[in-house]
Amino acid sequence: MSRLVEVTELALRDAHQSLLATRMTMEDMIPACEDIDQAGYWSVECWGGATYDSCIRFLNEDPWERLRTFRKLMPNSRLQMLLRGQNLLGYRHYEDTVVDRFVDKSAENGMDVFRVFDALNDPRNLKRAMEAVRRTGKWAEGTICYTTSPLHTVDKFVELAQRLKEMGSASICIKDMAALLRPQPAFDIVRGIKEKCGEDTIVHVHVHSTTGVTLVSLMKAIEAGADIVDTSISSLSLGPGQNPTEALVEMLEGTGYTTKLDKSRLLKIKDHFAQVRPRYADFESKIVGVETEIFDSQIPGGMISNMESQLKQQGAADRLKEVLAEVPKVRKDAGYPPLVTPSSQIVGTQAVFNVLMGRYKTLTGEFADLMLGYYGETIAERNPDVIAAAENHAKKPSITIRPADLLKPEWEALDKAAKALPGNEGADEDTLTYAMFPNVAPKFFAQRAEGPKDPCKGAAPASTAPENPGSKPADDGKGPIT
Amino acid sequence: MSRLVEVTELALRDAHQSLLATRMTMEDMIPACEDIDQAGYWSVECWGGATYDSCIRFLNEDPWERLRTFRKLMPNSRLQMLLRGQNLLGYRHYEDTVVDRFVDKSAENGMDVFRVFDALNDPRNLKRAMEAVRRTGKWAEGTICYTTSPLHTVDKFVELAQRLKEMGSASICIKDMAALLRPQPAFDIVRGIKEKCGEDTIVHVHVHSTTGVTLVSLMKAIEAGADIVDTSISSLSLGPGQNPTEALVEMLEGTGYTTKLDKSRLLKIKDHFAQVRPRYADFESKIVGVETEIFDSQIPGGMISNMESQLKQQGAADRLKEVLAEVPKVRKDAGYPPLVTPSSQIVGTQAVFNVLMGRYKTLTGEFADLMLGYYGETIAERNPDVIAAAENHAKKPSITIRPADLLKPEWEALDKAAKALPGNEGADEDTLTYAMFPNVAPKFFAQRAEGPKDPCKGAAPASTAPENPGSKPADDGKGPIT
Ligand SMILES: [Co+2]
Ligand SMILES: [Co+2]
């Protein structure tokens, strides 16, 4: 008797976010929904991450309408979203009642499974969102961002899982956005969680395929007891995306594990996305095949191209090697944050500044905030000398409290400002859109009635470079790979 | 203490044969040789397969000169080749003394490891070549072609390994050209071989990556005790090629297994081939990403495109589905041959004939030969009714003896004919070139002095279609993926 391994399909969110700059339109997803709904997945990730931003910025689609459509077209499926804790889908911390409203509205519009994470793995940044999800009766999945550093041991990840479990996680996600999770730690962490949190703890493993090793890691995670794994249909898989769903199914054939996926449905889903993908050629990631250098450099490919662009704009394209060598030092000084949005941009930009202007001679505002605790706690102590420089630069003290505790109630003000915008339809959903993307929302509200726009018509190739080296990673229109 | 896993690098042979229609020139390989020689591989596959044919047909390179150059540039490496048993590198059976001469000359020019296989897994077709290799003191690797069918059980493969061991194999290769080897059978076959042939039996695993599951299969093979595995550098990997060497190295990190490969050398090799690969864009395989349908259809992608072309030429492009349904029937009638060159073409073409003209109303000469035993023995009994039709069509009896036993000594005649050609330089090597490629050798000898030609200049895109549906798979200029 084989043990059942459940599967989350990523085609409708992370796959096209990672491979096609989050540009897939609802129109190109709708025809696949019935097959996805019937294929036997545990859940269908289809919302959150960068899709909300992309909807209003590039596609002139109302993200809430997208969610409702998915709900209608996939009545048998758990819909799943990616939520950046206290950041929601934006790039700053929100006051708790805004978090509550966002979760309420998402649940109301049809969301079932909330994967909640924080870029620094600071559980305090997950807590309010998790509580909100539990209050709605939906599935709260506490998430560990996987990374590597001298401090990131198996025991530390298992400890974090225990904290998430205590916070009421219905399942624990191990999220490996950079494809750094090798087979042995995959096994060890899953095993550790099962042993420390109880064998009945549901472990959900999310890996990308950039380094080429992570299908093996899924195998090992499954052998260690992982309950649910994330994959994407083969025609939207590999490279900086994820492992192919069909390969997972075939890999398990003959082992003591099995999925309950319907291969004939998978074939239809594959064929559909194989057919629409060429429309997005302008947005294709330039990373194809396999890149293993990140295991040593610790620097995700997308981060390297950002730094390259910044250097080029400063006429210093020849100094990339120095910057690459600087990144690990900056990361260490900052307490070894995982390199994921926004920490990857913050660390990368500061490394560029250090090389061009001298180490910590100039700090970006974001880096100062990171050093001073305004993004949350890091796993390691931060360098006190750099903290002092940051205090001096930012003219504010370092903090140890939860960053959102500094915020005053803000819903009323956001709601008032949002409702004043032409085209606002008066719903809380619009206020949330404005709250998360105040620069984009006005144009979106004004144009919404024109309906979806095809991003592939006359589209310029996607740029991964922010506008200037010190520019906020926030609100930059490039979906992070998560 | 980790167990050492040895690695064979495929970049110089199978990788570009699978991905770039075997077109890579010596000029583009030379700069990588020093790094390959120093990287710590167990062996470097760099000759045989379709490279010989490609050298004389497309590149105006003397394959023997290529071998000598590799020998000189990689003095510390075992050079490895792929040899199709009694077929050598050609497409018919050769008389034993021709086999002996080929092996002698290959050894003399620098070859170390001879991977010897037969498309039907008939050990009698391997025997003479294996003996010849052993006589030269070189490494004879007996090979099992992996395939799936009701008859191809783990026990049957282990039995075959036992026969190859008895024939004096220095190592046993499990060769999975179609990427059909799932993790569990990979484990079971390797374990079975170790248990039945002795734990000290060296097991060498060769897999392609087409279906996306075979890096996991390598992991399982290693866990079962596999000693050597085949990979190709990442910039010449994946799709119908092989798993990336760097991914193998990283996958094993932290496990009880390790390679002794030098990662800084691998990075240089990667960068070199990443730089030259775009030159061969016209020859890129159209298969990219992952294709798992073969697990059910049993029909390799290359075979489907061949059949598509054949149908199109007959104005019957709409009948592909019928042909795909016919293939498993033809394969069963033929005793379940592995679908690899030349059996894949023979079975595929007969399936096309069956659909267009009625089942077995017309037989190709090759299919009749296959049914009558002229290619060797198959694992299952062949359909007696179809054997009768084949005897009737071919006007010859079925045989059970080793096919090459029918051949008369032929070296003198080949030698004489070869030496009569303008441009022949009088060496046995030229006679072997003529013996294997009688249609191409005359032109090659005549043009040889002009030196290497760049296949990428004014090249027409590679066609995978043979000239007509009944054309011999032999000598068709398209390298089989093996
Ligand atoms: Co992701
Ligand atoms: Co091969």
* ipTM of predicted assembly, 2 dp: 0.92
Q: Is the pLDDT of residue B462 over 50?
A: no
- Distance, CA of B21 to CA of A104 (rounded, Å): 56
Q: Is the pLDDT of residue B26 over 90?
A: yes
User: Is B183 in Cβ contact with A251 (below 8 Å)?
Assistant: yes
pLDDT confidence bin for B378, thresholds 50/70/90: very high
Contacts of A275 (CB under 8 A, 6+ apart): none
Judged on CB neighbours under 10 Å (0-12, 13-18, 19+), A86 is buried
Q: Are A373 and A93 in contact (CB under 8 A)?
A: no
User: Is A211 in Cβ contact with B292 (below 8 Å)?
Assistant: no
Least confident span in A316-320, A430-434, B104-108 = A316-320
Q: Are A145 and A151 in contact (CB under 8 A)?
A: no
User: Is A243 in Cβ contact with B182 (below 8 Å)?
Assistant: no
How high is the mean pLDDT of chain A? 93
- From B149, B180, B183, select the one nearest A251 (Cα to Cα): B183
Per-residue pLDDT tens over the stretch A31-61: 999 999 999 999 999 999 999 999 999 999 9
Grouping H, G, I as helix, E, B as strand and the rest as coil, residue B204 is: strand
Q: Which residues pair with A231 in a beta bridge?
A: A9
A213, amino acid identity? V
The predicted pLDDT at position B481 comes to: 53
Peptide bond into B442 cis (omega under 30): no
| Cα(B276) to centroid(ligand 2), Å | 21
pLDDT confidence bin for B468, thresholds 50/70/90: very low
DSSP class per residue in B1-57:
-PEE-EEEE-IIIIIHHHHSTT---HHHHHHHHHHHHHTT-SEEEEEETTHHHHIII
Q: Is the pLDDT of residue B275 over 70?
A: yes
- Distance, CA of A207 to CA of A144 (rounded, Å): 12
- Distance, CA of A254 to CA of A258 (rounded, Å): 8
Selected residue of B250, B262, B296 to mutate for chain A interface (largest A Cβ count, 10 A): B250
| Cα(B351) to centroid(ligand 1), Å | 44
- Distance, CA of A447 to CA of A450 (rounded, Å): 6
Judge whether A154 is closer than 8 Å to chain B, CB to CB.
Answer: no
Q: Is the pLDDT of residue B239 over 70?
A: yes
Measured in angstroms, the CA of A134 and the nearest CA of chain B are apart by 37
Interface subset of B 170-209, CB within 8 angstroms of A: 182-185
- From B70, B49, B23, select the one nearest B454 (Cα to Cα): B23
A188, amino acid identity? D
**CA–centroid distance for A126 within its chain:** 14
Within 8 A of B253 by CB-CB distance, chain A residues are 182, 184, 295
For A254, nearest residue in chain B (alpha carbons): B184
> Largest Cα–Cα distance in chain B?
64
- Distance, CA of A382 to CA of A151 (rounded, Å): 12
| pLDDT, greater one: A464 or B263 | B263
Q: Are B213 and B182 in contact (CB under 8 A)?
A: yes
Within 8 A of B238 by CB-CB distance, chain A residues are 212, 238, 289-290
Selected residue of A217, A243, A250 to mutate for chain B interface (largest B Cβ count, 10 A): A250
The predicted pLDDT at position B482 comes to: 63
Instruction: State the ligand closest to the CA atom of B300.
Output: 2
Judge whether B275 is closer than 8 Å to chain A, CB to CB.
Answer: no
Judge whether A244 is closer than 8 Å to chain B, CB to CB.
Answer: yes
Among A253, A254, A289, the residue with its CB nearest the CB of B238 is A289
Judge whether A447 is closer than 8 Å to chain B, CB to CB.
Answer: no
Within 8 A of B293 by CB-CB distance, chain A residues are 267
Measured in angstroms, the CA of A266 and the nearest CA of chain B are apart by 11
Query: Quick one: what percent of chain A has pLDDT higher than 90?
Result: 87
Q: How would you classify residue B373: left for phi > 0, otherwise alpha for psi between -120 and 50, otherwise beta?
A: left
Within 8 A of B212 by CB-CB distance, chain A residues are 215, 234, 238, 243-244, 246-247, 250
Q: Is the pLDDT of residue B276 over 80?
A: yes
| Cα(B185) to centroid(ligand 2), Å | 18
Judge whether B11 is closer than 8 Å to chain A, CB to CB.
Answer: no
The predicted pLDDT at position B181 comes to: 97
Q: Are A88 and A102 in contact (CB under 8 A)?
A: yes
Who surrounds ion ligand 2 at CB < 5 A? Answer: B 14, 177, 482
Within 8 A of B249 by CB-CB distance, chain A residues are 292
Segment B334-351 mean pLDDT: 92
Measured CA distances, B57 to A479, B60, B278 (Å): 49, 7, 22
Per-residue pLDDT tens over the stretch A368-397: 999 999 999 999 999 999 999 999 999 999
Per-residue pLDDT tens over the stretch B42-68: 999 999 999 999 999 999 999 999 999
When computed from its CA atoms, the radius of gyration of chain A, rounded to whole angstroms, is 21
Segment A260-279 mean pLDDT: 97
For A248, nearest residue in chain B (alpha carbons): B213
Judged on CB neighbours under 10 Å (0-12, 13-18, 19+), B391 is middle
The predicted pLDDT at position B128 comes to: 98
The predicted pLDDT at position A192 comes to: 98
| Cα(A224) to centroid(ligand 1), Å | 21
Least confident span in A270-284, A431-445, A451-465, B362-376 = A451-465
The sign of the torsion formed by the CA atoms of A378, A379, A381, A385 equals: negative
- Distance, CA of A119 to CA of A126 (rounded, Å): 10
| Cα(B233) to centroid(ligand 2), Å | 14
From first CA to last CA, the distance across chain B in angstroms is 35
Q: Is the pLDDT of residue B474 over 70?
A: no
From first CA to last CA, the distance across chain A in angstroms is 35
Grouping H, G, I as helix, E, B as strand and the rest as coil, residue B244 is: strand
User: Is B251 in Cβ contact with A182 (below 8 Å)?
Assistant: yes
Judge whether B290 is closer than 8 Å to chain A, CB to CB.
Answer: yes
The predicted pLDDT at position B141 comes to: 98
User: Is A290 in Cβ contact with B247 (below 8 Å)?
Assistant: yes
Query: CA torsion, points B13, B16, B19, B21, in degrees to nearest 10?
Result: -100
In the numeric block, the tokens 């195998």 are attached to A219
| pLDDT, greater one: A475 or B280 | B280
Q: Are B482 and B82 in contact (CB under 8 A)?
A: yes
Q: Which two three-digit tokens encode residue A13?
A: 């969110």
Within 8 A of A269 by CB-CB distance, chain B residues are none
Helix (H) or strand (E) holding B385: helix B384-394
Query: Quick one: what percent of chain B has pLDDT higher than 90?
Result: 87
Q: Are B443 and B477 in contact (CB under 8 A)?
A: no
Among B253, B254, B290, the residue with its CB nearest the CB of A238 is B290
Judge whether B2 is closer than 8 Å to chain A, CB to CB.
Answer: no
DSSP collapsed to 3 states, chain A: CCEECEEEECHHHHHHHHHCCCCCCHHHHHHHHHHHHHCCCCEEEEEECCHHHHHHHHHCCCHHHHHHHHHHHCCCCCEEEEECHHHCCCCCCCCHHHHHHHHHHHHHCCCCEEEECCCCCCCHHHHHHHHHHHHHCCEEEEEEECCCCCCCCHHHHHHHHHHHHHCCCCEEEEEECCCCCCHHHHHHHHHHHHHHHCCCCCEEEEECCCCCCHHHHHHHHHHCCCCEEEEECHHHCCCCCCCEHHHHHHHHCCCCEECCCCHHHHHHHHHHHHHHHHHHHHHCCCCCCCCCCHHHHCCCHHHHHHHHHHHHHCCCHHHHHHHHHHHHHHHHHCCCCCCCCCHHHHHHHHHHHHHHHCCCCCCCHHHHHHHCCCCCCCCCCCCHHHHHHHHHHHCCCCCCCCHHHHCCCCHHHHHHHHHCCCCCCCCHHHHHHHHHCCCCHHHHHHHHHHCCCCCCCCCCCCCCCCCCCCCCCCCCCCCCCC
Measured in angstroms, the CA of A248 and the nearest CA of chain B are apart by 7
Judge whether A334 is closer than 8 Å to chain B, CB to CB.
Answer: no
pLDDT confidence bin for B480, thresholds 50/70/90: very low
Contacts of A21 (CB under 8 A, 6+ apart): A54, A280, A283, A285, A462, A478, A479
User: Is A250 in Cβ contact with B292 (below 8 Å)?
Assistant: yes
| Cα(B64) to centroid(ligand 2), Å | 21
Peptide bond into A342 cis (omega under 30): yes
Among B247, B291, B296, the residue with its CB nearest the CB of A212 is B247
- Distance, CA of A214 to CA of A222 (rounded, Å): 12
pLDDT confidence bin for B476, thresholds 50/70/90: very low
User: Is A244 in Cβ contact with B292 (below 8 Å)?
Assistant: yes
Interface subset of B 295-324, CB within 8 angstroms of A: 295-296
| pLDDT, greater one: B397 or A309 | B397
Grouping H, G, I as helix, E, B as strand and the rest as coil, residue B114 is: strand
Measured CA distances, A365 to A377, A408, A465 (Å): 17, 21, 19
| Cα(A207) to centroid(ligand 1), Å | 6
Measured CA distances, B173 to A96, A274, B140, B170, B193 (Å): 62, 35, 10, 10, 11
Per-residue pLDDT tens over the stretch B296-327: 887 877 788 788 889 999 999 899 989 999 99
Q: Is the pLDDT of residue B277 over 60?
A: yes
User: Is B247 in Cβ contact with A211 (below 8 Å)?
Assistant: yes
| Cα(A473) to centroid(ligand 1), Å | 18
How high is the mean pLDDT of chain B? 93
- Distance, CA of A422 to CA of A207 (rounded, Å): 42
